[in-house]
Amino acid sequence: MRPSPSSVAGGPHTGALAPARPTRLARRGRLWIAIFPYLLVSPVILYEGVLIVVPIIQGILTSFTRTELAGLPPRFVGLANYIRLLTDPDMGTVAFATLFLTLASVVIALSVALGVAVLLHHPFRGRALIRTLIILPWAVPDLPVLMIFNWMLNPVFGVMNVFARLWPGVHENLQWLNEPDTARLAVIMIGSWKGYPFYCLVLLAALQGISEQLYEAARVDGANTWECFRHITVPSVLPTLVVLTLLALIFSIKGFSLVYLLTGGGPDLATETLVLHIYKTAFRFYDYSYGQTMGTVGLLASVALAAGFFSYDRRQGARGG
């Protein structure tokens, strides 16, 4: 039997059909699928570009100029503002205050958060209520909280002096916010109290992801509570703790309302952080160019800090893998 011409020519009745050319509708569908993810992220990219990236670029460019108050156009001065920053006698005090307050607040907040998270990880009656109450310091706005603390730390009628007089050797009211040491202590403790609930909840979620079989196996091998905490709990939550440390440092460095409303940077620049100093320079003394210069240096320091943490995390991940 002779094959039909249509079969010889590869017609519709052949066993192996030639691939059909994609229709216009199919090509349009594939194009839509390809660009759809970019359409989803475009609002975020637009927001980041207009409200964050553009002001950052403008600020960096302004740091190389000199802006006058008389409405004259900015004058290009090159690195003059950065040279001024290196010779500014107040910058050493501001840098020390920023680093000291930041590191102390972060260490205390994360230590307390980890301890409270470990306690809340174990079941007990009323645990749900305690978790709800713990979040309140972080959830309450800064303004009413700092107004209350200002009243409590008042040297004349503040309630903190009632407790201070219970200590041996204290016979007069302490000037809490008027002495450098006590002002720094107040900023550190209040900042830690405001920040630790958020870190506690994140660490609590990390603790709940640890398998109980690890603890059971360790107890069978004779490990006590401290050894379980050291060799199981801490390594398990270490990646989360690293990320929280980075977030806590960034939050503390860019924090403004706490110091501004509590001490105003005083006394004698003892609590004047970089963000507060930039604000005073730009909006109280109207030295915008120099304020932008300090902001640029702070931005570069934050980027370097974040890059260092990410590099450390990447090396740890590669070593663990």
At 65, is the secondary structure helix, strand, or coil?
strand
**For residue 32, pLDDT beyond 50:** yes
Residue 14 belongs to a domain = no
Residue 35 belongs to a domain = no
- For residues 151 and 166, give the distance between their C-alpha atoms in angstroms, rounded to a whole number: 19
Mean pLDDT of the chain: 86
167-175, long-range: CB within 8 Å, 24+ apart, which pairs?
A: none
pLDDT of residue 8: 47
What mean pLDDT comes out for the span 18-46?
Answer: 79
pLDDT of residue 21: 59
Buried (b) or exposed (e) across 286-318, using 16+ Cβ within 10 A? ebbbbbbbbbbbbeeeeeeeeeebeeeeeeeee
Residue 193 belongs to a domain = yes
* Banded pLDDT at 48 (limits 50, 70, 90): confident
Find the CATH number of the domain harbouring 147: 1.10.3720.10
Q: What is the pTM of this model?
A: 0.81
At 76, is the secondary structure helix, strand, or coil?
strand
pLDDT tens by residue, 149-170: 999 999 888 899 888 888 888 8
Residue 231 tokens, joined: 């060799």
Question: How far is CA 256 from each of CA 33, 109, 125, 234, 302, rounded to the nearest angstrom?
Answer: 44, 17, 39, 32, 16
**For residue 69, pLDDT beyond 80:** no
pLDDT of residue 192: 94
Question: How far is CA 306 from each of CA 34, 102, 126, 289, rounded to the nearest angstrom?
Answer: 32, 15, 39, 26
pLDDT of residue 280: 92
Contact assessment for residue 114 and residue 203, using Cβ atoms and an 8 Å cutoff = yes
Q: What is the phi/psi pair of residue 3, to 5°?
A: -70, 150
Residue 271 belongs to a domain = yes
What mean pLDDT comes out for the span 111-130?
Answer: 89
Residue 223 belongs to a domain = no
List the beta strands (DSSP E) in 136-181: none
- For residues 224 and 160, give the distance between their C-alpha atoms in angstroms, rounded to a whole number: 40
Residue 74 tokens, joined: 């900015």
Residue 313 belongs to a domain = yes
CA pseudo-torsion sign 216, 217, 221, 224: negative
pLDDT tens by residue, 183-242: 999 999 999 999 999 999 999 999 988 888 888 898 888 888 888 888 899 989 988 998
The label of the residue with tokens 């209520």 reads 129
**What are the DSSP calls for 262-278, one per residue?**
HTTT-STTTT--HHHHH
Residue 309 tokens, joined: 């943490």
**For residue 14, pLDDT beyond 60:** no
**For residue 63, pLDDT beyond 80:** yes
**For residue 51, pLDDT beyond 50:** yes
Give the range of the structural domain holding residue 177, as residue numbers without chain letter: 90-212+238-320
Residue 207 belongs to a domain = yes
Residue 30 belongs to a domain = no
Q: Report the number of distinct structural domains present in the chain.
A: 1
CA pseudo-torsion sign 306, 309, 312, 313: negative
